């Protein structure tokens, strides 16, 4: 039972999901802050644009949460369909179904006896234990996605709310954004088993390039 609970918690939002959602929200917010110095004149206009950045991330957070639920529903339905097909298939057809469900490099390396072992174990697994619809954990995951995207806006907004100097606020906001991107890259690289500082630098540089490209393209 403990293992099942751990698997459900891990499925809600794994470390990659959490960090990439923060990166996504951060890039969206930095797109707004990157245009403030040329698009606004005065503290009131700056505040208006900051609220627009927050509104944008609210909208994108909602859209991303809905897409999270859609992905979860598709994944659950796919698994449920696989179990249903395995129950009425012969050995060779079942092995083909199992191979198709595995990552391509794993399926290519798997021997027929390995596929047969997996098929037989899956056939014995209760199909009713694989839900085809959305559950409470899925909606909690969607809420987590929404909150992460929205929360990533606030570190960039604070300098504009506290400072009257637009140029200084832009520089400080950009520094905060790059620092968060560095931390995000550090965490992803550490999770992947790579060198954290290299991941941090790569993410910060990549984020800066993406922001320049997005602004240049009118984003």
Instruction: Give a yes or no: residue 212 inside a domain.
Output: yes
Neighbours of 32 (CB within 10 A): 24
Sorted by sequence, the CB contacts under 8 Å of residue 7 that are 6+ apart come out as none
pLDDT, tens digit, for every residue of 118-158? 888 888 876 556 667 788 888 999 999 999 998 888 888 88
Sorted by sequence, the CB contacts under 8 Å of residue 159 that are 6+ apart come out as 168, 169, 170, 172, 173, 176
Instruction: Give a yes or no: residue 85 inside a domain.
Output: yes
Identify whether the C-beta of residue 26 lies closer than 8 Å to the C-beta of residue 180: yes
Instruction: Give a yes or no: residue 1 inside a domain.
Output: no
Range of the domain at 110: 16-216
Instruction: Give a yes or no: residue 3 inside a domain.
Output: no
**In this predicted model, which residue has the larger pLDDT, 10 or 28?**
28
Any idea what DSSP says for residue 132? S
pLDDT, tens digit, for every residue of 27-78? 888 777 666 555 555 556 666 667 777 888 888 899 999 999 999 899 888 8
pLDDT over 90 percentage in the chain: 18
Average pLDDT over the chain, rounded to whole? 80
Tokens at 211, concatenated: 């922001």
Instruction: Give a yes or no: residue 162 inside a domain.
Output: yes
Domain count, the chain: 1
- Report how far Cα 134 is from the mean position of its chain's Cα atoms: 18
CA distances in angstroms from 89 to 84, 101, 175, listed in the order given: 9, 15, 58
* pLDDT at residue 186, rounded to an integer: 94
Annotate 58-74 with DSSP letters as a single string: HHHHHHHHHHHHHHHHH
Tell me the HSE value of 71 on the side-chain side, using a 13 A CA sphere: 13
Instruction: Give a yes or no: residue 20 inside a domain.
Output: yes
Sorted by sequence, the CB contacts under 8 Å of residue 54 that are 6+ apart come out as 150, 153, 157
Instruction: Give a yes or no: residue 62 inside a domain.
Output: yes
Instruction: Give a yes or no: residue 159 inside a domain.
Output: yes
């Amino acid at each position: 039972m403990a293992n099942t609970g751990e698997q459900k918690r891990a499925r809600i939002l794994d470390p990659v999901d959490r960090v990439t959602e923060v990166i996504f929200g951060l890039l969206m917010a930095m797109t707004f802050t990157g245009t403030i110095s040329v698009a606004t004149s005065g503290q009131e206009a700056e505040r208006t644009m900051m609220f627009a950045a927050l509104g944008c991330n609210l909208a994108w957070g909602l859209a991303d949460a809905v897409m999270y639920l859609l992905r979860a529903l598709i994944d659950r339905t796919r698994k449920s369909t696989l179990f249903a097909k395995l129950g009425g298939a012969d050995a060779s057809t079942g092995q083909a179904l199992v191979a198709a469900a595995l990552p391509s490099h794993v399926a290519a390396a798997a021997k027929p006896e390995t596929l047969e072992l997996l098929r037989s174990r899956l056939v014995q697994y209760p199909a009713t234990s694989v839900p085809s619809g959305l559950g409470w954990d899925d909606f909690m995951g969607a809420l987590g996605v929404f909150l992460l995207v929205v929360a990533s806006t606030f570190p960039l907004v604070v300098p504009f709310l506290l400072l009257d100097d637009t140029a200084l606020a832009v520089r400080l906001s950009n520094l905060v954004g790059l620092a968060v991107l560095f931390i995000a890259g550090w965490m992803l690289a550490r999770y992947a088993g790579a060198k954290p500082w290299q991941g941090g630098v790569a993410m910060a540089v990549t984020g800066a390039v993406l922001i320049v490209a997005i602004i240049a393209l009118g984003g």
